[in-house]
Amino acid sequence: MNLKFLQKISLSLLVMLLVSTSLFAQDRKVTGKVVDESGPIPGVNVSLKGIPSNVSTNADGVYTIQVKSDADVLVFSYIGFVRQQIVVGNRNKIDVTMISENNTLNEVVVNVGYGTKKRANVLGAVASIKAEDIEDLPVANLGAALQNRVAGLGVSIASGKPGANTSLQIRNPTLFGASGSLGLTSDPLFVIDGLTATKSDFDNLDASLVDNISFLKDASAAVYGAAGAKGVVLVTTKRGKPGKPRISYSSYFGTSTSTEKPNVLTAYEHAKMLNDGFELNNSPNNVRFSQADLDLLASKPNESWYDELWKSSHLMRHTINVSGGNDKVTFFAGGNYYDEDGNFGDVSIRKYGIRSGMDANITPELKASVSLNMDYATTDRNTLKNSGVDTEDLMTRALFLTPAWVPLKINGLPNNWANGPNPPGAWNPQALFDSGEYERNNNQGLSLNTSIEYRPKFISGLAAKVQFGKFNRFGNAKQYFPSYTVYNFVRGGQNGLLYTNVPTTSPTSTIANSNRLSMGTTFSGSYQLIGSLSYAKKIKKHDFDVLVLTEQIESSGDGYATYRDGQQIPGVDQFFAFNAATTTAQLDGAREAGKRSYLARLNYSYNDRYILEAVARYDGSANFPPDKRWGLFPSVGLGWRVSEEPFFKDNVKFVNSLKLRANVGLVGDDRVQSYQYLARFTQTTGMLFGTAVTNGLDPNLYPNPDITWEKAFTQNYGIDATFLDNKLNFAMDVWHRHTYDGFDNYTVTGLPYTVGISSGLKNYGIQNSWGTEFTVGYRDKINDNWGFSVDAIAGTSDNQLIQSYYSLSRLGLVTEYADAPIGKSSNKYTSSNYGYLAKGIIRTQAQVDAILANNPNYKIGGQKPQVGFMDFEDVNKDGVIDDNDITVMYENVATKINFGFTLGVSYKTFRLSTNVALAVGGRKFIDSEARKVPTTTQSAPSFWADHWTPTTPDAKYPRADAPLARENSTFWSVSGTVARVNNAQLSYSLPKKISEKYRIPEFRAYLIGTNLFNIYNPYDYKDPNTSSFANYPTLRTISLGLNISM
């Protein structure tokens, strides 16, 4: 019995020992440190071969992972380094040294929409940029930082003023109607962390919170079907990484002023030019400046209102974020603050933002993610309210165009510039600023982004995911327009245009400025729900990846505004201080929209050489009538990694990777105002029934029951390659886009003006567009201390308009010009390219006599030719120069090719980099505001000082009263070539030894300048980035910044 009992006990102990050993083996942990030649690497992914893992190294490069047996294989992967696989064996500690691969094509991961891909497997024209390349730039919104960075991406900034809009355009999208009309837009679709976002959401996102940005430029945008016709911008924000908490702080402080001060006539030049005109026309002395007046003006300092009111503006930004976690939970939280003031008056913009997120591995199979985000922006500016005029640009015009002999203040008091012979629209900005008037706009956004993903172990490669997003945006505006006081002074000089310091008998005047207080609010909200199922499988040399998903988006919005007139309590900007009887309410119509989508995508590759991607998206949009709502948007891509072929790999050693790719597909656009298939009405009180005025409804939109998707068939053919141990990279894309069923405005030709209402959009426009893009980069180290980099982008494009509702008003012409040629190239038949063909200035009487001898009835703009006049080609050969001689001036006025260069050099921990833009070819024109000659109430660019007079017959510009001289013509054309240094940056980072010693992962100080200077500027009176010389100028900003992490 005892022996049997001992045998049982021994057997039981043996079984328990074996089981416990097995269990111990399953629970064994392996730890270690991952480094490269510079030190620890945080964020390296560590996994068991064949099993997905969320383990990664912490800030010190340390990892811990559970293994099941000695036969397990650990896989270490990190972008830019060779992937390593190590058998565990009986070790509990495994340290790894990563080897740099420097292979941008194979390892860089790119966001392609609803997922990511390695660059090596991307088949479309997908560009990407890292946030670290732009986050130091001192700009108010994210779009402005992208200027001259991505081939095929056009970035235009409305002006230099704080809060100015920035427009992004991918490959010159087709727009048949005016932007903003009935909801038309040329903007790409914006997607932030997988959810559709608005342009405001994108603009308010701080670069410090962004990880990377991708741009879908061709049929790869078909994954977003209904809204991909004008390209897609995909933003991935920063997330937490395993490791102990890491805090990062960055800030910069800067100052800004105009890149080029607009050059205007001095007071003496202005008066002298007016006198020249008076002399030619034998005007009486009482309108002229006397010689004493001219001598007085010549002796005074040349100070304009610009010199008195313009000042350097200031800006600053602060950001702070913290991230960390472990292999179970990671977190990230970041905040930012931006503050910028204006260059005159009380202009400012302040922006705040908070983004927070958490990722949790609930179980090995279940992962959840949640993000909460908030942004807030407030903008203050001065505003003039006068006869419907409400624009800050009018203030800038006053600084530049007010005659320099007009004092802003006399005896310290704001001068009544509107007094005397000057027009009622003239005003004094100093008095306006002193009145306390303002326009304040507040905008706040709140969003939730959450997802849950399930990857069952029993079906390897299968994943089910649900993502939900909720967005709300609130806005409120307040405009305060009180009356204000200006002071009247006695006029002097022979013509009464100069000023004395003697008050008039009525020393003050009151400017009403509408005497109004306005307030309004807006609200918009939306939700987005995405459910997806994906399956990835590798069978020998075959790789499959399949995605199917469904998506639904609904949005709504409304707004309300009201105002009161007649301020009763001066200095109080509240409703109770205004006349309650004047209360007027305005309801901004509510809106609703919705879209439902289904998507299927197949990715297949054979032996990592031959790649296929097929996409089909089926969209339904509530913007269209029920029978026109659904559209199918397919695309297909093919790729061949030539460098993986044995015949190539074994024989062409200097080429590290080479891929040929092609992508074709159909994309669409539904971004127009909703319900254009229904009639619209507005309230009216103008109907009479008997003697009573009755309320009623007026139709204001002729419906289009057939409106549906705008569509574009796109083709893209490209090459990606790296050379010389991956130091040199090259990409080229050739693309073509056929846009049809384009949203076009039927009113301009389809409805007679007697109808009295406008029409909705029609699917009528057709246009072909095409172009080529290049990207080249080279990086190398000369030795251990010196390194350099060169990156270049280039692009060219053209288009042909096949069908559109032509309108003379769209071409910038009037009805008298009906014989002007109309064609199909929008780079040729565009408003700026219609004008007169200039022959030059008639400089001598002999030239006048010769012209009249040839044709005694010859007239220019209705006048017989005189010396100092401009002469033009008689296009229609009728013997006179008039509107019928307006024609197309050049074959193509568009820029031929755009270049962007980013150059960098480093020495130890110092780095100097610069970005240069070059536009070559085409034609530009002196803007219409600059072509205006000076008057007694308005100045002009300084080039007008070089005008024709009998004593200066060889002057560059015609006499002031020359007919048609200021109309668009070849005389006002200049070269379209512009070269500009966009920015330059000098930075210094702590050496690695010091940062490791004091445990400071990053410490970097930098000095950066943006819009630094023009290398070649075809204009001699303004910056080429400013549309009109009287607009708010482009600003040069110099800032000093610091980035630190601990």
Strand partners, 632: 618
* Burial (CB count <10 Å: 0-12, 13-18, 19+), residue 539: exposed
- Report the distance separating Cα 578 and Cα 569, nearest Å: 7
Q: Which of 158-162, 531-535, 726-730, 847-851 has the lowest mean pLDDT?
A: 158-162
- What DSSP designation does 609 have? T
| Residue 715 is assigned to a structural domain of this protein | no
Angle at 804 between CA 799 and CA 810, to 5 degrees: 90
Out of 101, 135, 155, pick the residue that ends a domain: 101
Share of the chain above pLDDT 70, in %: 89
Compute the CA torsion angle 820, 823, 827, 830 (nearest 10 deg): 30
Token digits for 539?
A: 């069978």
Q: What is the pLDDT of residues 722-747, one digit of tens each?
A: 999 889 999 999 999 999 999 887 65
Task: Between 899 and 3, name the one with better pLDDT.
Answer: 899
Token digits for 1040?
A: 């000093």
Task: Give the position of tokens 């180290």.
Answer: 781
The predicted structure's pLDDT at residue 80? 64
| 451, 359 Cβ separation under 8 angstroms | no
Report DSSP letters for 16-54, one per residue.
HHHHHHHHHHHH-EEEEEEEETTEE-TT-EEEETTEEEE
Pairing of strands 73-77, 39-40: unpaired
- Report the distance separating Cα 532 and Cα 669, nearest Å: 23
The predicted structure's pLDDT at residue 687? 65
Q: Are 48 and 119 contained in the same domain?
A: no
Length in residues, the chain? 1046
Task: Between 60 and 199, name the one with better pLDDT.
Answer: 199
Report, in angstroms and rounded to the nearest whole number, the Rg of the chain calculated over CA atoms.
Answer: 34
Q: Are 97 and 224 contained in the same domain?
A: no
| Residue 508 is assigned to a structural domain of this protein | no
Q: Are 181 and 221 contained in the same domain?
A: yes
Map 69-93 to HEC letters.
CCCCEEEEECCCECCEEEECCCCCE
Task: Give the position of tokens 């030894």.
Answer: 993
**Domain membership of residue 127 as a residue range:** 106-247
The predicted structure's pLDDT at residue 7? 44
| Residue 237 is assigned to a structural domain of this protein | yes
Q: Are 123 and 231 contained in the same domain?
A: yes
**Mean pLDDT (whole number) for 805-817:** 45
Q: Is the dihedral of CA 276, 279, 281, 284 positive or negative?
A: positive
**Amino acid (one-letter) located at 832:** S
Out of 200, 217, 247, pick the residue that ends a domain: 247
| Residue 153 is assigned to a structural domain of this protein | yes
| Residue 140 is assigned to a structural domain of this protein | yes
Q: What is the pLDDT of residues 391-445, one digit of tens each?
A: 567 788 888 889 999 999 999 999 998 754 444 456 788 888 898 889 999 999 9
Of 337, 286, 331, nearest to 316 by C-alpha is: 337
Angle at 141 between CA 135 and CA 143, to 5 degrees: 85
Q: Which band of pLDDT confidence, cut at 50, 70 and 90, is reported for residue 103?
A: very low
Of 555, 547, 549, 548, nearest to 528 by C-alpha is: 555
Compute the CA torsion angle 240, 246, 247, 253 (nearest 10 deg): -80
- Report the distance separating Cα 844 and Cα 950, nearest Å: 9
**Amino acid (one-letter) located at 440:** R
Token digits for 241?
A: 């990484």
* Burial (CB count <10 Å: 0-12, 13-18, 19+), residue 23: exposed
Of 103, 109, 106, 101, nearest to 120 by C-alpha is: 106
Q: For residue 148, what is the domain's CATH number?
A: 2.170.130.10
* Mean pLDDT score of the chain: 87
Q: Are 119 and 227 contained in the same domain?
A: yes
Phi, psi of 513 (to 5 degrees): 50, 35
Q: What is the pLDDT of residues 173-184, one digit of tens each?
A: 877 766 666 778
| 513, 538 Cβ separation under 8 angstroms | no
Q: What is the pLDDT of residues 617-631, one digit of tens each?
A: 999 999 999 999 999
The predicted structure's pLDDT at residue 165? 78
The predicted structure's pLDDT at residue 892? 86
pLDDT exceeds cutoff 90 at 78: no
| 193, 236 Cβ separation under 8 angstroms | yes
Q: What is the pLDDT of residues 463-478, one digit of tens each?
A: 999 999 999 999 999 9
| 372, 365 Cβ separation under 8 angstroms | no
Of 51, 638, 35, nearest to 43 by C-alpha is: 35
Q: Which band of pLDDT confidence, cut at 50, 70 and 90, is reported for residue 587?
A: low
Q: Are 70 and 122 contained in the same domain?
A: no
| 622, 592 Cβ separation under 8 angstroms | yes
- What DSSP designation does 727 have? T
| 1035, 257 Cβ separation under 8 angstroms | yes
Q: CB 1033: neighbour CB atoms within 10 A? A: 26
| Residue 746 is assigned to a structural domain of this protein | no
Q: Residues with Cβ < 8 Å from 145, sequence gap 6 or more? A: 134, 135, 137, 139, 207
Q: Residues with Cβ < 8 Å from 24, sequence gap 6 or more? A: none
Q: Are 39 and 76 contained in the same domain?
A: yes
Share of the chain above pLDDT 90, in %: 56
Alpha helices in 708-822 (DSSP H): 747-750
Q: Are 112 and 59 contained in the same domain?
A: no
Q: Are 60 and 170 contained in the same domain?
A: no
Out of 101, 121, 144, pick the residue that ends a domain: 101
| Residue 178 is assigned to a structural domain of this protein | yes
Q: Are 37 and 129 contained in the same domain?
A: no
Q: Which of 21-30, 560-569, 905-914 has the lowest mean pLDDT?
A: 21-30
Q: Which of 89-98, 295-304, 800-809, 846-855 has the lowest mean pLDDT?
A: 800-809
Tell me the angle at which helices 267-280 and 291-299 cross, rounded to the nearest 10 degrees.
Answer: 160
Compute the CA torsion angle 801, 805, 806, 811 (nearest 10 deg): -80
| Residue 577 is assigned to a structural domain of this protein | no
Residue 794: helix, strand or coil by DSSP? Answer: strand
Strand partners, 793: 775, 900
Task: Give the position of tokens 């609930």.
Answer: 362
- Report the distance separating Cα 741 and Cα 736, nearest Å: 17
Token digits for 888?
A: 């197309």
Q: What is the pLDDT of residues 297-321, one digit of tens each?
A: 999 887 889 989 999 999 999 999 9
Q: Are 210 and 241 contained in the same domain?
A: yes
The predicted structure's pLDDT at residue 426? 62
Q: Are 139 and 42 contained in the same domain?
A: no
Structural domain count of the chain: 2
pLDDT exceeds cutoff 50 at 571: yes
Q: For residue 47, what is the domain's CATH number?
A: 2.60.40.1120
- Report the distance separating Cα 43 and Cα 239, nearest Å: 11
**Mean pLDDT (whole number) for 706-727:** 93
